[in-house]
Amino acid sequence: MSKTKVLYLVYQSPNLANGGLKSLLGVILNLKKTEPLVLTNIESAFTQKLIDAGVRVVIEKPTGNKFTGIVRLNKRVSSLLRSEKINVLHCNDIDALWWGVWAGKLNRAKVIFNIRGVKKVGDKYSLKWYPVNFCDEVIFLSQEMKEELQRRW
């Protein structure tokens, strides 16, 4: 049986306050029926652990203004999806989702997004969250989180 190829888009904050990376590392390394490829924005201990485990990692730093950076990254993601014949795209946060949601949809990849936290009650979800509407699956850390977000979206 062949492995499912998954492109993980992983945004790492510049201050490396990346609590979700430890759990994502576990997911990537323990899903035995997948062949992962990781695209991320910086080199770090996280990327080194992936490389040490034999996972291919591509470092792609967003450049230019926000719009041109998103366009460029979606082009890069589209190229990877086609050249590597990948049909699953996993985004670890809202910034990473912007990097590839449009490329994923144009290339008919299944787009998966995981949410690790919710905004405080009363805080609005802005247009920044619009791409979530195009995801094939959204993974919530709890049923309560899912219900809270469904009420507020």
User: Which residue intervals of the chain are DSSP H helices?
Assistant: 19-30, 45-52, 66-83, 94-106, 143-152
Which uninterrupted H or E stretch holds 138?
strand 137-140
pLDDT in tens, 47-76: 999 999 999 999 998 888 889 999 999 999
pLDDT in tens, 69-122: 999 999 999 999 999 999 999 998 888 999 999 999 999 999 999 887 666 666
The answer, yes or no, to whether residue 153 has pLDDT greater than 70, is no
pLDDT value for 64:
85
> What contacts 14, CB < 8 A, 6 or more positions away?
42
Q: How would residue 145 be classed by pLDDT, with cut points 50, 70 and 90? A: confident
pLDDT value for 127:
77
Provide the mean pLDDT of the chain: 88
Q: pTM of the entire structure? A: 0.90
Angle between helices 66-83 and 94-106 (to 10 degrees): 50
Specify the amino acid at residue 75: K
Dihedral sign computed on CA atoms, order 24, 27, 30, 32: negative
pLDDT value for 23:
85
Distance CA 131, CA 143 (A): 21
Residue matched to tokens 């990473």: 96
pLDDT value for 125:
67
pLDDT value for 55:
97
The answer, yes or no, to whether residue 34 has pLDDT greater than 90, is yes
The answer, yes or no, to whether residue 24 has pLDDT greater than 70, is yes
The answer, yes or no, to whether residue 126 has pLDDT greater than 90, is no
**For 32, which DSSP code?**
T
Structure token pair of residue 148 = 């809270």
pLDDT value for 94:
87
Contact 96, 68 (CB under 8 A): no
